[in-house]
């Protein structure tokens, strides 16, 4: 029979009390240093502007995209072509329209809400290939936004 000559050692344990103390101090520190802000509705009345139309407005080229994917540049409908041919036809029409103006025009994309994303991307690609970097999208305001008070619009 073999007896132990060494006294039995307890297994080492991780003492969690100092860890909890440190976390509590950090929590109290964060609670004291945090700034609390109240989110309140801003009641803003925007000023009325008495502005005249800009005399030096850049020329515009309006590209319309229908729900079926047909294109029109300045209300002139392009022949219905698909894919890369549509981009080529759009690029050529945009170059001709840009050549008629003295300064670089702004391309306004007027796409139907049901138009495919690819049709809009084709217009963007054609504008890039035509060397027209200024591009914007036409939108309309919703009926709710038009009837909302001035301070409630965002």
pLDDT in tens, 44-91: 555 666 666 666 778 899 998 888 888 888 888 888 766 678 888 899
39-45, Cβ contacts within 8 angstroms, sequence gap of 24 or more: 42/151, 43/151, 44/150, 44/151, 45/150, 45/151
Domain annotation covers residue 30: no
**7 or 18, higher pLDDT:** 18
**139 or 119, higher pLDDT:** 119
Domain annotation covers residue 24: no
Residue 39 pLDDT > 70: no
* Total tally of structural domains belonging to the chain: 1
φ, ψ (nearest 5 deg) of residue 47: -70, 155
Domain annotation covers residue 20: no
The Cα–Cα gap between 72 and 66 comes to: 8
Q: In the prediction, which pLDDT does 152 show?
A: 47
The Cα–Cα gap between 33 and 36 comes to: 9
Domain annotation covers residue 35: no
Domain annotation covers residue 120: yes
Domain annotation covers residue 36: no
Q: Which domain holds residue 86?
A: 60-137
Residue 8 pLDDT > 60: yes
Q: In the prediction, which pLDDT does 37 show?
A: 56
Domain annotation covers residue 133: yes
pLDDT in tens, 78-133: 887 666 788 888 999 999 988 988 888 999 998 888 888 898 999 999 999 999 98
62, 71 contact by CB (below 8 A):
no
Q: In the prediction, which pLDDT does 153 show?
A: 45
Which residues have a Cβ under 8 Å from the Cβ of 61 and sit 6 or more positions away? 73, 74, 94, 97, 98, 105, 106, 107, 108, 132
Output the pTM of the full model. Answer: 0.56
Domain annotation covers residue 4: no
Domain of 130, CATH number, reads 3.30.420
């Amino acid at each position: 029979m073999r007896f132990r000559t060494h006294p039995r050692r307890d297994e080492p344990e991780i003492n969690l009390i100092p860890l909890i103390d440190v976390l509590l101090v950090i929590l109290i520190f964060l609670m004291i240093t945090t700034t609390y802000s109240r989110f309140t509705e801003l009641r803003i009345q925007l000023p009325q502007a008495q502005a005249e139309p800009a005399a030096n407005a850049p020329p515009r080229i309006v590209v319309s995209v229908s729900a079926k994917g047909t294109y029109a540049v300045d209300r002139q409908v392009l022949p219905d072509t698909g894919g890369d041919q549509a981009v080529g036809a759009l690029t050529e029409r945009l170059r001709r329209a840009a050549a008629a103006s003295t300064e670089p025009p702004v391309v306004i994309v007027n796409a139907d809400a049901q138009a495919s994303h690819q049709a809009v991307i084709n217009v963007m690609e054609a504008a890039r290939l035509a060397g027209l970097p200024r591009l914007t999208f036409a939108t309309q305001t919703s009926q709710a936004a038009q009837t909302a008070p001035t301070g409630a619009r965002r």
